[in-house]
Amino acid sequence: MVRVKQISNRRPPKRLLPSEILLSHILVCAVPNPGHVGPMLAVAVHLKSIGHHVTFNTSEHFRGKVESAGIPFAPMAGKANYDYRSFSSSQEHSNLADQKLHQLQTFFADTISDQHEVIQRIHSNTPLDLIVVDTAFFGIYPMLLGPKSERPPVIVCGVNPMFLSSQDCGYTLPPADTQEGQEEIKRERQKIQSTFRPVHDRMDSIMQRYGVPPMPYFFIDCLYHLPDIFLQFTAESFEFPRSDMSDTVRFAGPMLPQKSGEFKEPAWWNELDGSKSVVLVTQGTLANHDFSEVIQPALSGLADEDVLVVVAAGRADTETLIVPENARVASFIPFDRLLPKVDVMVTNGGYGAVNHAFSLGVPIVVAGETEEKDIIAARIGWTGAGIDLKARYATPEQIRGAVRTILTNRQYRDEAERLRKSFARYNVLDELTQAVDEMLPQNERVKSITYLESHIA
C-alpha cells in the first residue's frame, strides 16, 4: 500500500509586524504616596514583563521613577496632581480625628473628579482592557457605580490594612468572643462611620455630576464590594478574620520591594556581624517629619542597652538627632539588605515595612496613630509577634521596655516565625497574574500574545 502524502490547505501562520501586535492595555493607578506608588509600580513592571501594554497614572512627582522602570507615564491633573509632602505637612488640626477628616476630604474626596477624568481621557485615546488601582484611588468610583457593561474590569490592590467593616471585628478591635467585646466592636464601627460620614457625603455629592447612583455601602467598604477582584497585599494571618467578607477579596501575600541594585555599604556595615542584637528604627517615608514620634525616643531609650541601633531616617536632614554611641544613622538603607540582620524593628507602622519585617520573621515594636497606622498597630499586637505601644509619641522608657521584652521573651520570636512561614506560602506575582488572566479570558488582545509566543521567533 502506497501512502499518499496529505497536502494541507492551511496557510502557514502570518508573521506579524511590530505595528500589528495588539496587546492588552492595562492602566495602573496609584495615589501619589511612596507607600502606594512603590507596590503599584511593581504591579506595572510585572504586568509588562508578562506581555501586557501598561500605562502608569500618578502625580508628576513620580514621573522619573515610573519612566526609569520602562513604563509609559500618564500624569494626574488638577487637585489629584499633588506632592505627597503636602499631605505630611497638613497638621493644622490639633485633634487627630479632625486631621484625618481633613486629609480624607482634601486628598481623596476632592481629587475624585480629576482622577476620573484622566482615566476617561486615557480610555478614549487607547481603549483600556483592565484598570488596576490601589486602595485610596477613589477616582475609580464613578466607573464602578455605573453600568458594568460600560467599563473595563477593575482590580483593586490592598496596599493598606483592610478597612472593611465587619460584624466580627472592628477597625482596631480584633474578633471578640464575649457579648461585651462584640458590643465594643459595634460601638467603634458606629463611631468611625459617624465621624467620617462627611467624607462619604462629599464623595456622593461630587459623583452626582456623573449620573451614577449613591454609594451602596460606607465609602471605604465600596473598595471591597464594587471591584471585580480585590487583592490584599498581605498574608491572611496578618488580618482580622471576617466571616462576612466579600467573595471578591483575596489574600495575595506582600508586594515586597524589588531587590536593591548597587548599594554602597556604610563604613559601619561590618558591625552587623551578629555579635550584638540589631534594632532597626524607622518612621517610613511619609510620617517622618517629626523625629520625636519614634526615632529620637528610641535613640534615647536604647542608648545604654547592649544593642546596635540602626536608624533608617527616610530623609537626609538628620543633624537634629541626638545620636548615642551605639547608634548608626542613615537617610536610606535598602531593607532587603538590612532586615535579614535585624532582631527587632521599632516603627510607626508603615504597612510595607511591617509586611517586609514579618515576611522575614522579625518581631516589631510599634507606636503610630496617624493615617491608618493605629489600624496596623492593632494587628501587630493581635498577632503576638509584636508590641503595640498604643501611642503616637512613644517615650524612651516605653521603647526600651518593649525592646527588652521582645529580646528576652521567646514567644515574640516564635510568633514572628509563624508569620514568616505563613507569608512564605504566597507568591504575590502569581496571584496577580491569575487575577489579571481571569479578567481577560475572552480578550482578543490576550489571544494575540499567545499567538505571538507560538509563531514569532
Does 193 lie in the same domain as 46? yes
Indicate whether 8 belongs to any domain: no
Q: How confident is the model over 4-34, as pLDDT tens digits?
A: 333 333 344 444 334 344 579 999 999 999 9
Indicate whether 396 belongs to any domain: yes
Give pLDDT, residue 97. 79
Indicate whether 263 belongs to any domain: no
Does 52 lie in the same domain as 190? yes
Give pLDDT, residue 369. 78
Indicate whether 5 belongs to any domain: no
Residue numbers in the chain where pLDDT is lower than 50:
1-21, 90, 444-457
Indicate whether 399 belongs to any domain: yes
Give pLDDT, residue 14. 41
Does 318 lie in the same domain as 176? no
Give pLDDT, residue 370. 79
Does 431 lie in the same domain as 365? no
Domain count, the chain: 2
Does 275 lie in the same domain as 175? no
Give pLDDT, residue 262. 81
Give pLDDT, residue 446. 44
Q: Cβ distance 349 to 389 under 8 Å?
A: no
Indicate whether 184 belongs to any domain: yes
Give pLDDT, residue 441. 65
Indicate whether 58 belongs to any domain: yes
Q: Cβ distance 31 to 133 under 8 Å?
A: no
Domain that holds residue 298: 269-424
- CATH label of the domain that carries residue 71: 3.40.50.2000
Does 311 lie in the same domain as 221? no
Does 394 lie in the same domain as 430? no
Does 113 lie in the same domain as 52? yes
Indicate whether 6 belongs to any domain: no
Q: How confident is the model over 223-245, as pLDDT tens digits?
A: 999 999 999 999 999 999 999 99
Does 282 lie in the same domain as 170? no
Give pLDDT, residue 12. 42
Does 307 lie in the same domain as 204? no
Does 434 lie in the same domain as 419? no
Give pLDDT, residue 257. 86
Q: Compute the distance between CA of residue 131 and CA of residue 148 in angstroms, rounded to an integer.
A: 13
Does 132 lie in the same domain as 280? no
